[in-house]
Structure 1
Amino acid sequence: MPAATAFACASTPIAEVARVMQKARAAQRTFANVDQARADEAVRALAWSIYKPEHARELAELAVEDTGLGNVADKIRKKQRKTFGTLRDLLREKSVGIIEEDRAKGIVKYAKPMGVIGAVTPSTNPGATPVNKAMMALKGRNAIVIAPSPLGYRTTERAVELMRSELARIGLPADLVQILPAPVTKDSTEALMKAVDLIVVTGSQDNVRRAYSSGTPAIGVGAGNVPVIIDESANLSDAATKICASKTFDNATSCSSENAVVILDRIYDRAIAALTDAGGYLCTAEQKAAVRDTLWQNGKLNRNIIARDAAILARTFGLPAQAEGARFFMVEETGVGREHPFSGEKLALVLTVYRVSDFAAAKDKVRAILDYQGKGHSCGIHTSDMDRARELAEDLDVVRVLVNFAHTFGNGGGFDSGLGFTLSMGCGSWQKNSISENLSYRHFLNITHLVTVIPEDKPSERDLFGPHWDKVGL
């Protein structure tokens, strides 16, 4: 083969992925049989690589500089909070050897690594998500190769560099964590999807669909478009404070950020006043039109203004001077669907407000919003009536219903939330996802079942068929 041809072949996406995979498999073989303490040591090292204050700041500044999304202060907080919480969760669990034993059923479960994990990560979290997934992967004694969003490549590359350095410091192979060489393309990402043992996708639904069609076991997550109800029993000040904190965090880049608030008529004016006191600005009908025409261009979100600071948005939207001091902007809406873009996910400091007659109407509105965008993801309610929260959980097609939470800080795990810390939230079959829970280390394990004989557990025919016989006969 001529040298030029050999060079061209060697530089194809498949060849690039093959080189990365060769190193990943070699590293994973040396790591596959470590004990629990060593696996946890690796997880701690990865966590420290991003939690370390100077590293958290560096990656946050890089992310904002590269993507233009969010703000540095909140990205620092996100990196440290999510990493700390994930580390807490992981260190409390077993992922090596026997992880569960049910003596009554005679079953003992042994955890085994999957091998090499492929992780597709988004531009909204180019530092935090790769480290979060790497921690979960190495908890299960796997290696991981990350395919980042091209927009956030430089940030993810630096995060991987920091993780590799910390692994080397404790004597583990740096190649347990790798990044696809730049430029990351659809071809190289698809080649990775086919080469790994499990692919986990956080980001565009196009990538999720590609992962599921790759032939490799895949975990994808769905889009968010969180609607939250405020009912007449809610503590309005508390609800408004929490909604503001959640909506404004990292300039609304989170999929768990509130996109709509559905308020019962009886307390509507007071709730709007509370939201205004918390930092909201209620747009007039004319101002709403200006926001719509600026936030969407040719039917798509305007890439130049999503996830920007509130003051920038106020000027860009052409809002009056008093709006420049607001922390977020409210627009009143009645409709849901494609003709009503405010009913969808906005990735901006714009909160859609609906006024409804009663709780039944509120539930119907939330269902309509989720059916349009975000079905399966989550919703919330601010209330003192737990029966209403339980009704939402029973009747709505969502994985999570949060009660009296700042949604962003509870949905992906929180220190006052029993949900596991994660940056990837499954939405079930409602969004064609393979999981209906928060992504965790358990999704990165193979499980061997040791099965022993137990006393026979065989009911009689009458026990099982009796009700049917009694109703219709033999």
Structure 2
Amino acid sequence: MAHPTPSTGATGPIAELVARARAAQRTYETWTQEQVDMAVTAAGWAIIEPGRNRELAELAVADTGVGNVDDKIRKNHRKTLGLLRDLKGTPSVGVISEDTATGIVEIARPVGVVCAVTPSTNPGATPANKIINALKGRNAVIVAPSPKGWTTAAKLIEFIHAQFDRIGAPRDLVQLLPSPVNKQSTTELMTLCDLVVATGSQANVRAAYASGTPAFGVGAGNVASIVDETADASLAADRILRSKTFDNATSCSAENSLVVVDAARPGLMAALEARGAVMLDASQKRVLQSLMWPEGRLSAAVIGQSARVIAERAAALDAEGRTGWLAMAERDPRVLMVAEDGVGHDHPFSGEKLSPVLTVYAAPDFDAAAATVERIYGYEGAGHSVGLHSTVAERALRLGLTLPVSRVIVDQPHALATGGNFDNGLPFSLSMGCGTWGKNNFSENMNYRHYLNITRISRPIAERMPTEEDIFGAYFAQHGAT
């Protein structure tokens, strides 16, 4: 058995959901690696098939009002295809490694029933990613989507069930928390499952950690990228805008701030503006701030909207500047930029914006740029990632040694690279651990191994006991043996 059935005595529809998942999982854990991989592939094809992919993307945008269809199609396809590539040929059933030198044999075991908490920003791609990883470990999974993402998740699971019917897999391996989803039902599901994997708001992540069930949650995003004096301005601008405009910047991995070394600023700003980014003046910045944080919290009026829509909505708040905003919107800007020098609650542009609004900081040199990023992460985003556009290889190492980040993304479109891409070595994922800096218990990209228990067999090997001299010799030589 993968996990002992809890004797909670719980009853009701959610307890019944979990009971059905347990029954299906007990059957599934007897499957061979070949059968498991077929189930994984079936779930992947459920979302990658072009007609279904488009239907899910269109439904996601229609229901959530966030992002854009074409980019969601790309995200659904690339993130799922990349995950399937990572998993292909990877053992997850029975013995998965043997090390004759240590005498250790590792055996993969399921965790049982997984509660997958997913956000409205990625109502198709994130559930698919969690479902596929859970299936790879011979687990059942129950998705707890955001209320706005429920219909998309339901359609995805309908597609998965149709593929399961083709291969004879139990439908109850993949289920959905019934609508209406609320805090109470999600909390109950977390409590009854064996593992919680939570992506989305920090409230959801904290609830997962507090549920009493083992949990993986991710920290807050608020990515900053440094552009130094050695960077190619055109390439850097291309990468930054490709990242910042993808799916209207709904990704937690999209840049929220650029910290630009003074010597790089003229060339970079010219390149950004030539590609459709617009720098706002001080008056426009004040209006945009009132639109984005009308009551001190980021407004749904801007989350996942295009720069053009945001400009049009700002025009409605700015009687004096209305003409300028509308003229800006007519030019169909790709990104709105604001200059900033402060960090913290009194400077909301220093935080995460989930929209194509980019905050630009100036720094006299690289050291000052790194210090600015550290200030930003002291406010929000610690543990996640930092971007670097530079030809000085040593600078990436310096950031990795000194900043509170789990990833340093060098010369890449950050939002596309952080969760794995076909031209870097990071695992494909939509859930990035942020380590203890981000109050997480892991710092890598979440992958199938997080959905496994590992049993280890230990056999005797030749003794390798050191002498005291081996261990303490250098210490004694320098400080004495007393």
Q: Is TM (by shorter chain) over 0.5?
A: yes
Q: Does the 8 Å CA contact 2:83/2:428 hold for their aligned counterparts?
A: yes
Aligned 8 A contact 2:309 2:329 in 1: no
Residues 89 and 420 of structure 1 are in contact (CA less than 8 Å); yes or no, is this contact kept in structure 2?
yes
Matched, 1:429 2:436: yes
Match of 2:143 in 1: 146
Say if 1:323 and 1:274 are closer, same or farther in 2 by CA, change over 3 A. Answer: farther
- Matching residue of 1:342: 349
C-alpha displacement at 1:466, in angstroms?
2.7
Structure 2 SS opposite 1:369: helix
**Aligned amino acid, residue 421 of structure 2:** G
Q: Which amino acid aligns with 1:80?
A: H
Residue equivalent to 1:366: 373
Per the normalisation by structure 2, the TM-score is 0.94
Determine whether 1:131 maps to 2:128. yes
Is it true that 1:117 corresponds to 2:121 in the alignment? no
Distance in 2 (CA, whole Å) between partners of 1:68 and 1:371 is: 31
Is the 1:14–1:188 contact (alpha carbons within 8 Å) kept by the matching residues of 2?
A: no
Q: Partner of 2:282 in structure 1?
A: 285
Partner of 2:198: 201
Alignment pair present for 1:166 and 2:163: yes
1:144-192 per-position Cα deviation (integer Å, ceiling 9, x unaligned): 0011101111111111111111111111101100001111121111111
Aligned to 1:321: 327
In the TM superposition, what is the alpha-carbon distance from 1:332 to its structure 2 partner? 0.5
| CA shift digits 1:116-157 (9 cap, x unpaired) | 111110010111111110000000110000111011111111
Contact 1:228 1:262 in 2 (8 A): yes
Superposed displacement of residue 472, structure 1: 4.1
- Counterpart of 2:207 (choices 207, 210, 214) is 210
Query: Are residues 103 and 189 of structure 1, via their aligned partners in 2, closer, same or farther at CA, if it must alter by over 3 Å?
Result: same
* Alpha-carbon contact 1:14-1:191 (below 8 Å) kept: no
For residue 401 of structure 1, what is the aligned residue in structure 2?
408
Aligned residues: 463
Query: Over aligned residue pairs, what C-alpha RMSD do you find?
Result: 1.3
Shift of the alpha carbon at 1:448? 1.1
Structure 2 residues not aligned, in runs of 5+: 1-9, 316-324
Question: Residue 311 of structure 2 contacts residue 328 of structure 2 at CA under 8 Å; is this kept in 1?
Answer: no
Match of 2:233 in 1: 236
Q: Out of 186-195 and 128-137, give the one that drifted further.
A: 186-195
Give how far 1:94 is off. 1.1
Q: State the Cα deviation string for residues 73-126 of structure 1 (Å, max 9, x = none).
A: 111111011111111111131111221121111111111111111111001011
Could you state the TM-score of these two structures normalised by the residue count of structure 1? 0.96
* Secondary structure of the structure 1 residue equivalent to 2:346: coil
237-246 or 93-102, which deviates more: 93-102
Letter of the 2:312 partner, please give it.
Answer: R
In 2, the alpha carbon distance for the partners of 1:239 and 1:320 equals 29
Task: Specify whether residues 241 and 176 from structure 1 end up closer, same or farther in structure 2 by C-alpha distance, changes over 3 A only.
Answer: same
What's the counterpart of residue 95 of structure 2?
98
- In the alignment, the residues of structure 1 paired with residue 11 and residue 470 of structure 2 have an alpha-carbon distance, to the nearest angstrom, of 58
Q: Which residue identity lines up with residue 78 of structure 1 in the other structure?
A: K
Secondary structure of 1:439's partner? Answer: coil
Matches within 5 A, 1:456-471: 456-470=463-477, 471=479
CA distance, structure 1, for counterparts of residue 303 and residue 173 of structure 2:
35
Cα deviation per residue 1:230-255 (whole Å; 9 max; x = unaligned)?
01110110010010010000001000
Q: Structure 1 CA distance, aligned partners of 2:464 and 2:182?
A: 55
Match of 2:385 in 1: 378
Contact 2:47 2:128 in 1 (8 A): yes
| 1:333 lines up with 2:330 in the alignment | no
Q: State the alpha-carbon separation in 1 of the partners of residues 80 and 367 from structure 2.
A: 39
Report Cα offsets for 1:344-377 as digits up to 9, x if no partner. Answer: 0001110000111000100000111111110000
Give the superposition deviation at 1:323.
4.5
Q: Per the alignment, do residues 472 and 245 of structure 1 end up closer, same or farther by CA in structure 2, a change over 3 Å counting?
A: same
Residue of structure 1 in register with 2:320 after alignment:
none
Q: 2:173 maps to which residue?
A: 176
Q: Which amino acid is 1:266 matched to?
A: A
SS at match of 1:418: coil
